[in-house]
Amino acid sequence: MGVTPVVNAAGTKTRIGGSLIREEAADAMRAAADEFVQLSDLEATASEQIAEIAGSEAGYVSPGAEAGLLLAAAAAIAGDDPKTMSELPHPTDAPNDIVMPRTHRTGYDHALRAAGANIVDVGTNDYHLGTGATNVEPWEIESAIDENTAGVAYVQKTYTQPDLSTVSEIAHRHDVPVIVDAAAEVPPIENLSRFVEQGADMVVFSGGKGIRGPQTTGIIAGKRQYIRSIAVQHQDMHVDRRVWNPPSSLIETERFDGVPRQGIGRSLKVGKEELVGLIRALELFIEEDQEAIVAEWENLAENMASQLEAAGVETTVVAGGEQSVAPRVVVDITHSQSTLSAAALVTELQREDPRVYVGEDRIDEGEIVLNPMCLDEDGAAYVVDRLLTHL
């Protein structure tokens, strides 16, 4: 199609395609394209496999992590009530407040609001501004929960406050669910089950980042009652009640007086190809030697840093940790010979053919960041070469 390709030293960013889909997952998608299947059967089987891996009661495949958040919020608000399902995103009498620590608010919480949630902020920015010890106290979350609360939302990072287990205990005392945004929190593999173990009722992961499934997929792991609500609000409901026959492990039809209307999630379609591709990628992901993969990333990062240092460019290798499971090479532009600012350098690299994408989160400090997650040796060498051309 004549579109300029990208050499990716920025990591699993959606705007440049996430990660590279596993070859075996792509093969599974090709095979699935040649068959018809009842989608609820496929989702039910996927649910069982996700549940086994995550240690949850059930699971579901969504079209990306943000769609998973929307579906999770819809489940928290509507439950099994077809009337509320038909009213979303404007429920008339169902609780629709979702309590959220202020420092967990991101652009992605638009997904919660799109489902009909009203987000109730709690806490402050004291810790990040250096004017206090914490951003939010547990009592602040508890005091915000009332009769109009549908759930509590939590963005999982290693540095978010309070601990997820504490938030879960508070929410469950009031019989409301906890929705966790863990989109980019795998790898490591153990995170697939860790947040469920800490009490989360619905945990959302991206399928197209570290898992390396189709970019248009996500995973929801959680309680069966919420997965059931998600399924009913997501799937094609254009069916006569007398022949509505989804797997009972996914949808217990006797809980409904009739077939619910097409739900708010109906536009968030997952094809059989993407669904099969994700499950195959997930199977391969949990079989991988994560320590060996991290070692490969560390080797790439060290090599890039060494080559840049040898050319007189100041770098710092930051080990994987709070913000990224992969190590990163921080390149100091301010002490180079280049007259370009970090922002101008990023722009110039993106204008090349192929485009070169680097991390841009630190350009205000005059630094760019190289992430090895989506590079091989040739790609890493190319990135260094193009950087040195401009530096």
DSSP per-residue letters across 196-235: HHTT-SEEEEESSSTT---TT-EEEEE-HHHHHHHHHHHS
Residues 239 and 335 both lie in one domain: no
pLDDT of residue 338: 81
Flag whether 2 is in a domain: no
Mean pLDDT of 137-146: 98
Final residue in a domain of this structure, among 242, 272, 287: 287
Residues 262 and 353 both lie in one domain: no
What is the value of pTM for the model shown? 0.95
Q: Rounded to whole angstroms, how far apart are CA atoms 231 and 74?
A: 11
Flag whether 10 is in a domain: no
Residues 64 and 168 both lie in one domain: yes
Instruction: Say which range, 133-142, 312-321, 380-389, has the weakest mean pLDDT.
Output: 312-321
DSSP state of 108: G
* Residue 195 pLDDT exceeds 60: yes
Flag whether 15 is in a domain: no
Q: Which candidate, 328, 358, 333, 313, places its Cα nearest to that of 7? A: 358
In sequence order, the 6+-apart residues with CB closer than 8 A to the CB of 354 are 4, 5, 6, 7
In sequence order, the 6+-apart residues with CB closer than 8 A to the CB of 362 are 330, 342, 368, 369
Flag whether 385 is in a domain: yes
* Residue 323 pLDDT exceeds 70: no
Residues 247 and 311 both lie in one domain: no
In sequence order, the 6+-apart residues with CB closer than 8 A to the CB of 310 are none
Q: Strands 178-181 and 202-206, how do they pair?
A: parallel
Q: Which candidate, 370, 368, 291, 363, places its Cα nearest to that of 324? A: 370
CATH code assigned at 366: 3.90.1150.10
pLDDT 10s digits, 14-69: 999 999 999 999 999 999 999 999 999 999 999 999 999 999 999 999 999 999 99
Percent of the chain at pLDDT exceeding 70: 99
Residues 159 and 216 both lie in one domain: yes
DSSP state of 107: G
Residues 213 and 347 both lie in one domain: no
pLDDT of residue 159: 85
Mean pLDDT of 200-220: 97
Mean pLDDT of 200-209: 97
Flag whether 28 is in a domain: no
Q: Strands 355-358 and 6-9, how do they pair?
A: parallel
pLDDT of residue 158: 82
Residues 276 and 260 both lie in one domain: yes
Flag whether 219 is in a domain: yes
Residues 184 and 321 both lie in one domain: no
* Tokens at 138, concatenated: 């547990």
Rounded to the nearest 5°, which phi and psi values hold at 356? -115, 120
pLDDT 10s digits, 66-117: 999 999 999 999 999 999 999 999 999 999 999 999 999 999 999 999 999 9
Final residue in a domain of this structure, among 240, 266, 287: 287
Helix (H, G, I), strand (E, B) or coil at 154: strand
Flag whether 354 is in a domain: yes
Contact between residue 86 and residue 237 where contact means Cβ atoms under 8 Å apart: no
Instruction: Say which range, 58-62, 116-120, 290-294, has the weakest mean pLDDT.
Output: 290-294
Count of structural domains, the chain: 2
Residues 282 and 333 both lie in one domain: no
pLDDT of residue 322: 57
Final residue in a domain of this structure, among 287, 302, 323: 287
* Tokens at 199, concatenated: 């009490």
Q: Which candidate, 61, 14, 63, places its Cα nearest to that of 374? A: 14
Residues 261 and 386 both lie in one domain: no
Mean pLDDT score across all residues of the chain? 96
Q: Rounded to whole angstroms, how far apart are CA atoms 13 and 191?
A: 20
Rounded to the nearest 5°, which phi and psi values hold at 205? -120, 155
Residue type, 325: V
In sequence order, the 6+-apart residues with CB closer than 8 A to the CB of 388 are 307, 308, 311, 313
Contact between residue 364 and residue 354 where contact means Cβ atoms under 8 Å apart: no
**How many degrees, rounded to 5, is the angle at CA 280 between CA 227 and CA 222?**
20
Flag whether 31 is in a domain: no
Residues 251 and 294 both lie in one domain: no
65: domain range? 37-287
Mean pLDDT of 156-163: 90
Residues 364 and 237 both lie in one domain: no
CATH code assigned at 252: 3.40.640.10
